[in-house]
Amino acid sequence: MIKTILQFLLLFIILTLLQVVCNHICIFGVAIPIVYIYFLIRLPINLSVNWCMTLAFLLGLTIDIFSNTQGMNALACVVTAALRRPVFSLYFAREDDLANPIPSIQTLGFGIYIKYLLSMVLIFCILLFAIQAFTLHNLQVTMMRIAASTILSTLLIFGIDSLDTKREKRL
């Protein structure tokens, strides 16, 4: 139990630092990699939604402080965290059958995991860029940003994920 908590704390810090670096990347002026959402994806699926939202809020607020966005990431994170269970149950109905509650390729299988990951990232990107569009309305640019950022973030998160699972196999 404590080991899991420490692992997630470490993941929190690493992802925050990684996002601070990623904030400076903007490919073709549209694609912004968002990697910290991986934390929400990895949280155990049987964790209560209250805890999930609290952690999401803290994570979003930390990123907000670093990137001077004032509540933008926090709001998107909380809503994504609230939608996590419904999205998960779309692809995987039998929650009790899971041996390990932490979603990964091993526990869910490749297809379901990819679908779950892509939906979560897409939801988050739509929310984030829709909130940004409040302050700067330019529909075409917003759509481009959502599409490009979703693809880039999913690829990056998949990379991080493969590193993570490799480490787990070794252990």
Partner 1 sequence: MAHTHSVIYKVDYYVSFCLSHLFLYLSLKNLINFIIKYFSWFVFIFYVTISCMLLFQNNPYQHHVYLTSANRVCSAVYGVFNNVTSYFHLHEINEDLHNRNALLEMEVINLRNQLNSVKLMLPDSTAAMAASEHGFDFILAHVISNSISQPQNYITINRGSLDGIAPEMGVIDQNGVVGIVNVVGPHSARVISLLNPQFRLSCKVKGSDFFGSLVWDGKDAYHAVLEEMPKHVKFAKGDTIVTSGYSSVFPEGLIVGTIVEQIKDKNDNFFSLRIALSTDFTQLSTVRTIKNNRQAEIMALDENNGKGKEAEK
Shorter beta-carbon distance to partner 1: residue 11 or 20: 20
Cα dihedral 122/125/131/132 (nearest 10): -150
Binding site for partner 1 (CB under 8 A): 17, 20-21, 23-24, 26, 29, 32, 48-50, 53-54, 56-57, 60, 64-72, 74-75, 78-79, 82, 131-132, 135-136, 138, 141
Buried b (16+ CB within 10 A) or exposed e, 37-66: bbbbbbbebebeeeebbebbbebbbbbbee
Q: How far is the CB of 138 from partner 1 (least distance, A)?
A: 7
In the bound complex, what is the minimum distance in angstroms from residue 111's beta carbon to partner 1?
29
- As measured in angstroms, the least distance from the Cβ of 7 to partner 1 is 22
**Residue 37 and residue 120 in contact, taking contact as beta carbons nearer than 8 Å:** yes
CB of 125 to partner 1, least distance (A): 14
Q: Which is nearer to partner 1, 82 or 160 (CB)?
A: 82
Can you read off the two tokens belonging to residue 98? Answer: 């899971």
CB of 100 vs partner 1, minimal distance in Å:
24
Q: Which is nearer to partner 1, 70 or 162 (CB)?
A: 70
Residue 66 or 114 having the CB closest to partner 1: 66
Rounded CA gap, 46 and 54, in Å? 15
* Residues contacting residue 62 through CB under 8 Å, at least 6 positions apart: 16
| 49 CB-side CA count, 13 A | 11
Closest CB to partner 1 among residues 105, 143: 143
